[in-house]
A and B are shown apart, each in its own frame.
Chain A
């Protein structure tokens, strides 16, 4: 008896936290079907925001910029970060720990400080703030996530297999692709995905480094907060959320199936 009550309470607590985390998402989804433009009034069910969304050039532009920056910054960060991890892994202990602690700075430091420091640099170098500066900033804060994901895989790596490949006559590059790369690939992939997510969700660093000509979804939403969010934005975020949900369910499902 005592155990069932305890069990029930525990389930209830989990449900409560999940409600806390997911209630705002449910609200945004409901708002995307709201006929009324007002955030606080229900004006009946409609699908019109989903149609108007695709005709709204500003939002579509912001979406395009967001996705292209997320993809490019994640890709470049993954390449630089993976190469760096392999190099750092070969270094002696002192330079290694020094470099790794500097690498952690953008991850541990406050976003606003990172953002300001980059903005000061771009202005000092006379870079015009725009797409390029946002991309550089995103690569900068993404690299630590790649290094963080790849380093543990490199540490697990058995160096002998690589040397065996060399002894058997493989060229270093060939041996790397055949022996080392498959081993560290899961780390590389999760570094890429983590970077992509971080870039997609970033607001603060983009806000300071974007100048006036470029907008991502985050900065667009921020500029609309005062004058009222366009309902198309709710429709877009609902679509994105559902897309990710479906994608992740499929990945999880196929993984579980593969195990059986």
Chain B
């Protein structure tokens, strides 16, 4: 019984070979030049205006989409919790189901909606409202991000909210807290771990996407994901591509570190409340 550890060995070989070594390779390519010498030039390329612009736009759009997703998802999750639907797996299903249709096709369908003569503008002009030209702008990409990643915000928040027992909420009210105080001091802190995982699951893919910006930005808008993809697939400069990926990874790590820190603080506070 004690020596079951060997069952993990095949996986450990796999893990080192296909997770650890590949990451080391990115670092290696990112820090060397085609000639073989160690250099920081690849990373310094991020300061080139076109790359810096792409990174900045990516950060901006992914930040906004994360906030929009949170604002849309939290009330929804709260409503769903209060509905007391018997099988929570049904709720989960409704929000996972869209993912069974190819996400590239679903994003493409947004072209139909947002085009200048698209569905949205036809509805607007039917009501004699001014039409919008959204397609091929950063706003279209932002809508695409919110659309694609909203379920990843809804599900973790909903899961953390259904776990909160009614007794805790009622206890807060019995002790004289009004609805607002109950929310701020009880419900929000207890659901915070769900919010954290939701934020990570929306922010990271939004920051690094290149397909959404390709489809809805009409190759007029470049995100950092597009820049990296082109370095590998078109320019074939793997050193530059790896260098820029390293910069991207730094931003991912920073965002995770910030959230992990918040998560810990909130957990402590949550512990005091119960």
Contacts and interface: CB of A to CB of B under 8 A. Distances in A.
> By CB atoms of chain A within 10 A, which of B105, B151, B207 has the most?
B105
A87 B109 contact: no
Nearest to B78: A10
Contacts of B110: 24
Interface of A: 10, 13-14, 17-18, 20-25, 27-28, 31, 39-40, 80-81, 83-91, 99, 102-103, 105-106, 108-114, 116-121, 124, 136-137, 139-140, 143, 162-163, 166, 172, 197, 200-201, 203-204, 208, 217-218, 221-222, 225, 229, 233-234, 237, 240-241, 244-245, 248, 252, 256
A195 B12 CA distance: 19
Interface in B172-202: 200
Nearest to B103: A201
Interface of B: 1-12, 14-15, 17-23, 25-26, 29, 72, 75-76, 79-80, 87, 89-90, 93-95, 97-113, 115, 117-119, 147, 150-151, 200, 204-205, 207-208, 210-211, 214-215, 225, 228-229, 232-233, 238, 241-242, 245, 248-249, 252, 256
Nearest to B208: A110
A20 B136 CA distance: 20
Contacts of A245: 97
B14 A80 contact: yes
A201 B208 contact: no
A248 B98 contact: no
Given A225-B214, A237-B101, A10 B79 contact: yes
Nearest to B75: A13
B153 to A, nearest CB: 11
Contacts of A203: 103-104, 211
Nearest to A144: B19
Contacts of A25: 98, 101, 106, 109
A138 to B, nearest CB: 11
B15 A13 contact: no
In terms of DSSP, what is the predominant structure of the interface of chain A?
A: helix
Nearest to B6: A87
Given A110-B252, A117-B23, A120-B26, 9 more contacts: A40-B117, A40-B118, A80-B10, A83-B8, A84-B12, A99-B15, A110-B207, A136-B18, A221-B102
B112 A39 contact: yes
B106 A28 contact: yes
26 contacts: A21-B98, A25-B101, A83-B11, A84-B8, A87-B6, A87-B9, A90-B4, A99-B8, A102-B20, A103-B19, A105-B19, A110-B204, A112-B210, A112-B225, A112-B229, A113-B245, A117-B26, A120-B29, A140-B19, A163-B1, A201-B102, A204-B210, A221-B102, A225-B104, A234-B105, A240-B101
Contacts of B18: 118, 121, 136-137, 140
Contacts of A172: 1
Contact of A116 (B6, B106, B241): B241
Nearest to A175: B1
In terms of DSSP, what is the predominant structure of the interface of chain B?
A: helix
A119 B228 CA distance: 13
B8 A112 contact: no
Contacts, number: 206
Contact of A27 (B113, B151, B233): B113
B72 A120 contact: no
Nearest to B20: A102
B236 to A, nearest CB: 11
A106 B23 CA distance: 10
B11 A111 contact: no
B120 to A, nearest CB: 10
Nearest to B95: A21
Contacts of B99: 197, 201
B97 A248 contact: yes
A81 B211 contact: no
Given A83-B8, A87-B8, A120-B22, A162 B97 contact: no
Contact of B102 (A89, A111, A237, A244): A237
Nearest to B251: A110
B212 to A, nearest CB: 11
B94 A121 contact: no
Contact of A21 (B26, B147, B242): B147
> By CB atoms of chain A within 10 A, which of B150, B238, B245 has the most?
B245
Contacts of B211: 203-204, 222
A109 B4 CA distance: 30
Contacts of B228: 112, 116
A221 B8 contact: no
Given A86-B7, A109-B252, A120-B238, A221 B104 contact: yes
Top 8 nearest A-B pairs (CB, nearest first) are: A87-B8, A117-B22, A84-B11, A24-B109, A110-B208, A87-B7, A120-B25, A83-B7
